Structure 1
Amino acid sequence: RTDAAKISLFGAGGTSAALGPRSRETRHALAGRLGLGATDVPWHVARDSLVDVGIALAGLAGTGGKIGREVIELSRPEIGELFEASGHHRGASSTMPQKANPIASEILVAFQALSAAQLPALLATTQGTHERSAGE
């Protein structure tokens, strides 16, 4: 939590110029009031804690996708070991009224695929150009 839940109060240029000579104290005081950690390095140059959170969330999505895939496979009619809760039109098939699709599991699998696709973009954010992104 302390690595990820931090404030970054350094301003647009990452210099804390607007906060004056007591910028460090101001940053730490605000972090304390918010129940967050404070850092002495602007996120412009050190984005690894954001990437760590993304990797952890992608791992969580991967686990959810694995569980979802297992439920989908084990709820196939020929296996029939698992099923999702059913209800009014929940997962209803438009062509087979007796069928209920495992939509919650399908959503978990989709989240896993989306997070896996976005992880490389998140990793690319660590490449700041000479301490500050050029806006590319």
Structure 2
Amino acid sequence: MSSIFTKIIKGEIPSYKVAENDNYIAFLDAFPLVEGHTLVVPKKEVDKIWDLDKETYLGLMDFAYDIAQGMEKVIPCLRVGVAVVGLEVPHVHVHLVPLNEMNDINFMQPKKEFSAEKMQEIADKIKSAL
């Protein structure tokens, strides 16, 4: 069965896409910790990050680097944090989280809710900086 991320990649589920190429996709987290929380995902469906082949892993991190660079230009933050947790969806994904304080990357905190218009605005801002 396809993961929810594979369904997003195939366009079966809508998302707020930030960037995409042949091998990777970045989109806003539907349940963000903070404004701009972005997921970077390989299109190859693999459960655990350490099960990726080295080329895919390095490509994922290179793609994430570019997204984080863009995020820092347009999302007010002290830095962009990175986390790989992977317990909630069995498909490798990197969380890029704009940080202004340590609690911004606390996955136990309540998730933020933004309107569809706000989510699109955030995605468009990040896209414009890439």
Q: Give yes or no for TM over 0.5.
A: no
| Higher share in helix | 1
Larger radius of gyration: 1
Q: Which has the higher contact order (CA 8 A, sep 6+)?
A: 2
Q: What TM-score, normalized by structure 2, do the two folds share? A: 0.26
| Higher share in strand | 2
Q: What TM-score, normalized by structure 1, do the two folds share? A: 0.25
